[in-house]
């Protein structure tokens, strides 16, 4: 038989090639077996590193509610969109679609992604937000239609009452950190603790499977405030109504519970809506009741008289001669608007006599008035700890000459906040006992013990004088003319001050102030109103600020279920209940 000869060459060469191929196949097979046995765990771990990620699960921030559990700040779940800037920059069609959907300039979006490809250390960044706070359905619609765009679940803060409670509650940044107000003050308590989960996702970011929850997220603590949203609304609307009439630069009002010193309402105008980022400006969201100090004027006369009464130096009926309507103190004149002639201590308050107040103050050592102011909390920050709170200004009274001492007694040369003033009047309302003001609702068992500032007898005597100041012939009669105000006895004091300017006081710029309480027989509410630079011919506290008090307090007392205390109203109620006259 003829021997076969391969057409591809000599048999030894073919055999050598076959040997090499066989050797290669054996090597590959050996490597496969080796990796599948000895290195299997390492390979699986590397694969997991490529496709398994530990992701953060956001935690919901605690809810802020008013004293009746009405929500003032809540967290709602939203989705934020993100892209890998290195990948997405190479996707021009998707870039154009995304810019169009988000209503952004494609040029600006591209520039933003390029600027965020690396951090300050030159390290690669694979995660850049392109839009935050979208509704989950909207975010899903975008991620489903545009490759390379992914979403991440998080929370956004929402403020149901908007600008009505904005200056108290404050607001957060997009990462849910408090930036102002209660949100900032109680940030640690309200903040939750983020959780974490292990997931499997593609290199493009699509989540395939949640492997395990490593640590569940923990919601932040809830917080109940002393604010009553109903009173907050009434006060806000009353200030707006006043502003339409007098066009002030700003105005603020504070309402306290006379028994507990809880802040029931605290409003300033102008105000802004924290749900709108464009309105998150200091000029709109500043809590002026706590941050702004002002000279209070004649409302301070009540405390000068209280100090003299408590020291036993005068009685309500001690005669005070204010004739001829002015007097010399040190090197200056103290003047009244009119020559009131012969008054007594009570009518000094009713007529708001500067001369009378000066003569009362000069009867007592200066340290007495200084101690009274300090005990009331004037010139000191409250225990609330609100961000940006002002302590006001109180100079050393014992070092003053007689003129400065007198002007201090009727509210010049001293600066207070509306909250300080309300807390001071709450002492008179609470029979001389001071309880620290609070914005956080306290349990009954945690109510602090009060500190006596003046005797109960002194406080009641001053309350009677405050009643005369809003009665016929007094300066604050308009404090009694609001809805339901005819049901209750009222006491209060007006103040009208020239605004301080460089080198003295402005002739035609004023602050109008009213501080009052009701019902006077057993006060439940204390309210202070301050209006900065009212425009027009009317600028007195009794004309501008007192009507705000009247529009709010009567309604608030009715809502609280406080029974009328005026004798004629009690009689009328008995007639209605029995059907007999």
Q: Is the dihedral of CA 159, 161, 162, 167 positive or negative?
A: negative
CATH of domain 229-276+288-574: 3.40.710.10
In whole angstroms, give the CA distance from residue 124 to residue 550.
64
In whole angstroms, give the CA distance from residue 320 to residue 464.
18
Structure tokens at 89: 């920059």
Model confidence over 521-561: pLDDT tens digits? Answer: 999 999 999 999 999 999 999 999 999 999 999 999 999 99
Model confidence over 418-475: pLDDT tens digits? Answer: 999 999 999 999 999 999 999 999 887 567 889 999 999 999 999 999 999 999 999 9
Q: Is the pLDDT of residue 396 over 80?
A: yes
Q: What is the pLDDT of residue 29?
A: 78
Read off the pLDDT band of 89 (50, 70, 90): confident
Residues 357, 302 contacting (CB under 8 angstroms): no
In whole angstroms, give the CA distance from residue 315 to residue 302.
13
Partner residues linked to 505 by β-bridges: 500
Read off the pLDDT band of 223 (50, 70, 90): very high
Give residue limits of the domains in the chain: 55-224, 229-276+288-574
Which of 298, 353, 382, 390 does the annotation list as catalytic? 298
What region, left, alpha or beta, does residue 272 occupy, with left being phi > 0 and alpha being psi -120 to 50 degrees? Answer: beta
Q: What is the pLDDT of residue 51?
A: 56
3-state class percentages of the chain: helix first, strand second, coil last, to nearest 5: 40, 25, 35
Q: Is the pLDDT of residue 581 over 60?
A: no
Q: Is the pLDDT of residue 340 over 90?
A: yes
Annotated catalytic residue 60: no
- The radius of gyration of the chain's CA atoms, rounded to the nearest angstrom, is 37
Task: Name the DSSP letter for residue 299.
Answer: G
Mean pLDDT across the stretch 68-75? 95
Q: Is the pLDDT of residue 481 over 70?
A: yes
Partner residues linked to 434 by β-bridges: 451
Structure tokens at 417: 């906040």
Q: Chain centroid to CA 485: how far? A: 30
The CATH number corresponding to 55-224 among 3.30.70.20, 3.90.1310.10, 3.20.20.70, 3.40.50.2300 equals 3.90.1310.10
Q: What is the pLDDT of residue 66?
A: 96
Mean pLDDT across the stretch 143-170? 89
Q: Mean of the per-residue pLDDT values for the chain?
A: 88
Mean pLDDT across the stretch 23-31? 77
Q: Is the pLDDT of residue 90 over 70?
A: yes
Mean pLDDT across the stretch 385-403? 95
* Lowest model confidence (mean pLDDT) among 145-149, 236-240, 375-379: 145-149
Partner residues linked to 7 by β-bridges: none
Is 448 or 34 the better-scoring residue by pLDDT? 448
Nearest CA to 150 out of 129, 133, 179, 167 is that of: 129
Could you give the angle at which helices 402-409 and 366-376 cross, rounded to 10 degrees? 30
Q: What is the pLDDT of residue 35?
A: 61
Mean pLDDT across the stretch 139-162? 87
Q: Is the pLDDT of residue 156 over 60?
A: yes
| SS3 category, 432 | coil
Model confidence over 104-150: pLDDT tens digits? Answer: 888 888 888 888 888 888 888 888 888 888 888 888 888 888 888 88
Residue 525 buriedness (CB in 10 A; 0-12 / 13-18 / 19+): buried
Q: Is the pLDDT of residue 1 over 80?
A: no
What end-to-end distance do the CA atoms of the chain give, in Å? Answer: 149
Is the pTM above the cut of 0.85?
A: no
In whole angstroms, give the CA distance from residue 415 to residue 411.
8
Nearest CA to 170 out of 157, 156, 181, 159 is that of: 181
């Amino acid at each position: 038989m003829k021997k076969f000869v391969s057409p591809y060459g000599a048999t030894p060469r073919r055999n050598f090639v076959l040997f090499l191929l066989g050797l290669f196949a054996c090597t590959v097979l050996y490597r496969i077996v080796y990796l599948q046995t000895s290195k299997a765990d390492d390979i699986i771990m590397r694969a997991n590193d490529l496709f398994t990620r530990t992701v953060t699960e956001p935690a919901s921030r605690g809810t802020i509610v008013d004293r009746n559990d009405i929500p003032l700040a809540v967290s709602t779940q939203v989705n934020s969109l993100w892209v890998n800037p290195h990948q997405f920059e190479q996707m021009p069609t998707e870039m154009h679609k995304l810019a169009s959907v988000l209503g952004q300039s494609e040029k600006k979006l591209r520039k933003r992604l390029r600027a965020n490809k690396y951090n300050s250390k030159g390290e690669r960044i694979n995660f850049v937000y392109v839009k935050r706070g979208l509704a989950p359905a909207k975010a899903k619609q975008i991620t489903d239609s545009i490759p390379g765009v992914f979403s991440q679940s998080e929370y956004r803060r929402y403020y149901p009452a908007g600008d009505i409670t904005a200056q108290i509650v404050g607001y957060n940044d997009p990462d849910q950190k408090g930036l102002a107000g209660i949100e900032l003050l109680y940030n640690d308590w309200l903040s939750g603790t983020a959780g974490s989960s292990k997931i499997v996702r593609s290199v493009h970011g699509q989540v395939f499977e949640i492997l395990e929850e490593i640590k569940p997220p923990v919601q932040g603590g809830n917080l109940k405030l002393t604010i009553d949203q109903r009173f907050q609304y009434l006060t806000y609307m009353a200030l707006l109504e006043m502003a339409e009439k007098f066009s002030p630069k700003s105005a603020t009002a504070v309402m306290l519970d006379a028994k507990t010193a809880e802040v029931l309402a605290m409003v300033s105008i102008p105000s802004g809506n924290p749900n709108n980022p464009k309105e998150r400006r200091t000029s709109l969201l500043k809590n002026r009741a706590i941050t702004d100090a002002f000279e209070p004027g004649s409302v301070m006369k009540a405390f000068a008289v209280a100090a003299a009464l408590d020291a036993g130096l005068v009685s309500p009926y001690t005669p005070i001669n204010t004739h001829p309507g002015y007097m010399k103190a040190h090197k200056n004149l103290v003047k009244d608007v009119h020559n009131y002639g012969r008054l007594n201590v009570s009518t000094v308050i009713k007529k708001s006599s500067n001369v009378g107040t000066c003569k009362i103050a000069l009867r007592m050592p200066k340290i007495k008035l200084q101690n009274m102011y300090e005990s009331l909390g004037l010139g000191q920050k409250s225990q609330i700890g609100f961000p940006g709170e002002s302590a006001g200004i109180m100079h050393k009274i014992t070092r003053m000459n007689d003129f400065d001492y007198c002007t201090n007694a009727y509210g010049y040369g001293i600066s207070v906040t509306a909250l300080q003033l309300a807390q001071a009047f709450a002492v008179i309302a609470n029979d001389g006992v001071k309880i620290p003001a609070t914005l956080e609702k306290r349990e009954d068992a945690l109510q602090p013990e009060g500190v006596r500032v003046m005797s109960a007898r002194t406080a009641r005597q001053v309350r009677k004088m405050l009643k005369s100041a809003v009665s016929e012939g007094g300066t604050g009669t308009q404090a009694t003319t609001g809805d339901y105000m005819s049901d209750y006895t009222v006491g209060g004091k007006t103040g009208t001050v020239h605004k301080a300017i460089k080198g003295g006081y402005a002739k035609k710029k004023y602050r109008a102030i009213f501080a009052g309480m009701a019902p006077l027989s057993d006060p439940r509410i204390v309210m202070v109103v301050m209006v900065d630079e009212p425009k027009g011919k009317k600028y007195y506290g009794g004309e501008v600020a007192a009507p705000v008090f009247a529009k709010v307090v009567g309604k608030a007392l009715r809502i609280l279920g406080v029974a009328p205390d005026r004798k004629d109203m009690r009689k009328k109620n008995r007639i209605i209940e029995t059907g007999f006259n």
